[in-house]
Homo-oligomer: A and B are copies of this chain.
Amino acid sequence: MINLEVKGLNETLKEELAVVRTENTDVLERAQKGEEKYADSLGWLDTEEWADDAALKVIEDLAARIRREAQAFVLIGVGGSNNAARSVIEAIQLAGTPEIIYAGNTLSPNALNKMLKQLEGKDFWIDCIAKNFETLEPGSSFRILRKALKERYGDQANEHVICTGTRGSSLDQLCQDNGYIFIDFPLNIGGRFTAMSNVGLLPMAVAGIDVREVVRGARDAQTALRTQSPDENTAYEYACLRNLYYRHGWKLEMLSSFEPQFRHFYYWWTQLFAESEGKDGKGIFPVTGEFTEQLHSIGQYIQDGENMIFETFLDVKEQQDSLVIENDGLKDHFDYLDGKDFFDINKAAFHATVTAHSTKFPCNVFTIGRLDAYHFGQLFWFFQFACYLSCGIMGVNPFDQPGVEAYKVRMFKELGKE
């Protein structure tokens, strides 16, 4: 299971944490059962609902067919419709699997033209993922990709289209009209919680990821965190810590890691917390640190700037890659590195950073066993549940996002949408 170690808590904070943990046990108990008021958003709370054996069989069969036929697979989706899949794919995609190309996440003609260029001369499939098929980016990208398919495949174009949509939506209708393959976007899950469903799992499977391992990881996290008591529940501990820090004025949480493979997981995590918690004038603002590189840009601020950031580190225990530094006889003054493995050097930098930063503010250190499909599943479910708890303690609804309408209303008006 995911391990949490906390550094830099003084005695006062420790005492206050004990109080927060005692006072919010009802939040944990309610979440473990699933609250009736959020019933239309809790389809992720039991992975059996949308990622059971039957669902995985459909995903695997469809993915196998695409992998035989396609050199590229275009994921049309934005935010919750692409972040989970992309997190895993960009981290651990297997060699020799179709190239995964992302669309539906921008309105920049420069970016879209580059995307179309990447597809030139390649056999490809597209998957349009949209819960609410009114969102501009996927809707507009779907149009230009339908055109690209038509140019390449003519009358057979429709055979290369999958839509992941909700039953009864206009996307569902479009599939029926045109013979596209339709698979379910869970009606009772908001985008940012859909990792363990067709939304997240089909693209992963196309990229050669073992989705049964992903789901097994999520399920193991679920089994533990939905039954563990307040004293032993790591997601609850993390949710309590976040709220404690927040009340002390640490209003930014920096998710940091020394492994760039987590880059796209950061985006998933950022959306999860920003969109769930950032409302009613409240919320911890999520930021991220890709170390060691960004120690050379934001490291100075973290150490000496305004004391308003706390940090959450993601660490991987097992060594999975190796590269040893040899001495080539030149006088480069780096002899202290002779024969050392970058794995160990990177770990030394990690330990030094946690030690240095925790002199200023509290640091949470999460450790997972390996960076693989199974542990990504754990991470998804863990943070989803922790986010649910954290919002409960903060007193906000984790599952809505009323604020995103503000610019959309103005934009649709400017574009002449009725």
Residues on A close to B: CB < 8 A?
78-80, 83, 105-113, 133-137, 139-140, 142-144, 146-147, 150, 170, 173-174, 177-178, 251-252, 258-261, 267, 270-271, 274-275, 277-283, 285-287, 292-293, 295-309, 320-323, 325-326, 328, 330-334, 336-337, 340-343, 345-346, 348-349, 351-353, 355-357, 359, 401-404, 406-411, 413-418
Q: Considering the complex, give the chain B residue whose CB is closest to the CB of A128.
A: B332
Q: Please pick, from B109, B325, B326, B331, the residue contacting A341 in the complex, using a CB distance under 8 A.
A: B109
**Residue contact A349 to B298, C-beta cutoff 8 Å:** no
Contacts of A270 in B (CB 8 A): 297-298
C-alpha gap A261/B173 in the complex (Å):
36
Contact check, B295 vs A109: say whether CB atoms are below 8 A apart: no
Which of B261, B285, B307 is close to A306, meaning CB atoms less than 8 Å apart?
B285
A174 / chain B contacts, CB cutoff of 8 Å? 330-332
A271 to B: closest C-beta gap in Å: 3
Judge whether A325 and B293 touch: CB under 8 Å: no
Cβ contacts under 8 Å, A410 to chain B: 351-352, 355-356
A108 lies within 8 A of B260 (CB):
yes
The answer to whether A107 and B415 touch across the interface, beta carbons within 8 angstroms, is no
From A401, which residue of chain B is reached at the shortest CB distance? B300
Bound-state Cα–Cα, A377 to B210, Å: 47
Pair A321/B113 contact, Cβ less than 8 Å: yes
Docked CA distance A345–B133 (Å)? 17
Task: Decide: A108 and B147 in contact? CB cutoff 8 A.
Answer: no
Q: Is the CB of B416 within 8 A of A336?
A: yes
| Assembly CA distance A402 to B270 (angstroms) | 29
B143 adjacent to A326 (CB under 8 Å):
yes
Contact B251 A308 (CB under 8 A): yes
Other-chain residue from B113, B336, B408 in contact with A323 (beta carbon distance below 8 A): B113
Q: Which of chain B's residues have a CB closer than 8 A to the CB of A283?
A: 301, 305-306
A336 neighbours in B (Cβ, 8 Å): 415-418
Across-interface contacts of A332 in B (CB, < 8 A): 133, 139, 142-143, 170, 174
Find out whether the CB atom of A348 lies under 8 angstroms from the CB atom of B415.
yes
A406 engages B325 (CB within 8 Å): no
Q: Is the CB of A415 within 8 A of B297?
A: no
Task: Report whether A323 and B147 are in contact in the complex, using a CB–CB cutoff of 8 Å.
Answer: no
Q: Which of B106, B351, B403 has a CB less than 8 Å from the CB of A303?
A: B403
A110–B320 contact, CB under 8 A? yes
Q: Is the CB of B136 within 8 A of A345?
A: yes
Given known A267-B297, A330-B177, contact A109–B323 (CB-CB < 8 A): yes
* B328-A300 in contact (CB<8A): no
The one of B110, B177, B320, B407 in contact with A259, judged by C-beta atoms closer than 8 angstroms, is B110
A346–B349 alpha-carbon span in the complex (Å): 42
Q: Are A414 and B285 in contact (CB under 8 A)?
A: no
> Which single member of B140, B301, B343 contacts A334 (CB below 8 Å)?
B140
Determine the residue in chain B with the shortest Cβ distance to A338: B143
A271: nearest chain-B partner, CB-CB: B297
* Shortest distance from the beta carbon of A122 to any chain B beta carbon, whole Å: 18
Cα–Cα, bound, A305→B341 (Å): 44
With A275-B297, A328-B147, A356-B407 known as contacts, the answer to whether A337 contacts B304 (CB < 8 A) is no
Partner of A261, one of B78, B110, B295: B110
| Set of chain B residues within 8 Å of A133, measured between Cβ atoms | 332-333
In the bound complex, do residue B178 and residue A110 qualify as a contact, i.e. CB atoms below 8 Å apart?
Answer: no
| Closest beta carbon of chain B to A330's beta carbon, Å | 6
Q: Which of B107, B143, B260, B305 makes the CB contact (< 8 A) with A274?
A: B305
Q: Which residues of B contact A352 (CB under 8 A)?
A: 407-411, 413-414
Distance between Cα atoms of A139 and B345 in the complex (Å) = 12
- State how many angstroms separate the Cβ of A180 from the closest Cβ of chain B: 10
Is A109 in contact with B343, judged by CB distance below 8 angstroms? Answer: yes
Tell me if B275 and A300 are in contact (CB < 8 A): yes
Q: Tell me the complex Cα distance, A252–B298, Å.
A: 13
